[in-house]
Structure 1
């Protein structure tokens, strides 16, 4: 059961603010850190249920600044792959227990950091040629699945979009459009699986201002804050929270 006490909001408030900044200005790749942080203090399913309406609110708040600045063909390819990925995530959730999702969220967190470090050191390089449409469908499916189980669909989608040579703002706008649609698709199965409760609704009402403030700050930071600084902070958070979740799942 979700206890709406001081400890919860002391952790959830900054986490949601951080998610808003990430989605509003930095391609949403790190927004899932909020779900990982919440999963430290509540059941993973409840953490996902709390975050989805807030992420949807951030999506709506960031649509206008990036309206029609996206690459619609690339977004369409990823969305077509993302829908079956969401369905696969829903099927897994219906048969899995909380510890498996702690393990998945923790593992995805650590893998995300490892991927980014490998890219920074030149061990993994963006594709020299634009990836074909079928690769976009695969990336979309992985994004839909990881988005469903941990709100972490950003990295697989980014792999495909980076190969398309999008500008910084076009990349950000395409990400906003993609996850606005994916999060809408996720809403019905989340509701069917019981991830929304009266307590998560109350939490959403209290945390909504943090989400909107974060989205506004993210849009401003998109042009002002160096990406390396934002993501280095993110990597530390993800390594700590991911390691703790994996430990909890295994012990």
Structure 2
């Protein structure tokens, strides 16, 4: 197995003649937490969907978990946990019923044991009979993460997982992410929160479908000659906007 959980080059996707992702190169080391930052419409979600095999790229080559991410997409899906920004589980099913349904989709053996373990891990056991639609944002987030982890993925792709969640739930979520990384699970997470970005091992900034900067938080702040990550973000996106306008 390679030391890189993600190693792709030239990742590209267009819609209606407009390039949403334009030649993105990305390398993520196994067991690392990498933050994926960028304004709305920058190509983050499209990139994540291509990496997990849900969307076919127009161009690009490389590997995800040692698999050709274009030609072995079905196998990639089985080893990756993908958490969408919008809650995607069934609101008229209970927490346990949702997890059992996911376990069935993955044709998991010992479904009950797997669901029990997921409920315990995310602190959902006492609420297992509660309907998903009745949960608060923080508890829905826990359920979504439990569903992502049910099939024991080696890589998590998380798309704005804490959007609209209160600070306490966000902190607890990130504590869980760090525990997962300590177990060897690789995490690529998109976020708009600078305090969350600071908890990542490395960062990738993207705008207009192109990578603007990558590296540790300290390195990016220094390279951008900025006071902090938020200042660096504003500067980098501003420069990209100017370049994009000139090119257009």
TM over 0.5: no
Which one has a larger percent strand, Structure 1 or Structure 2?
2
Bigger Rg, which one: 2
User: Using CA pairs below 8 Å that are at least 6 residues apart, which structure has the higher relative contact order?
Assistant: 1
Which one has a larger percent helix, Structure 1 or Structure 2?
1
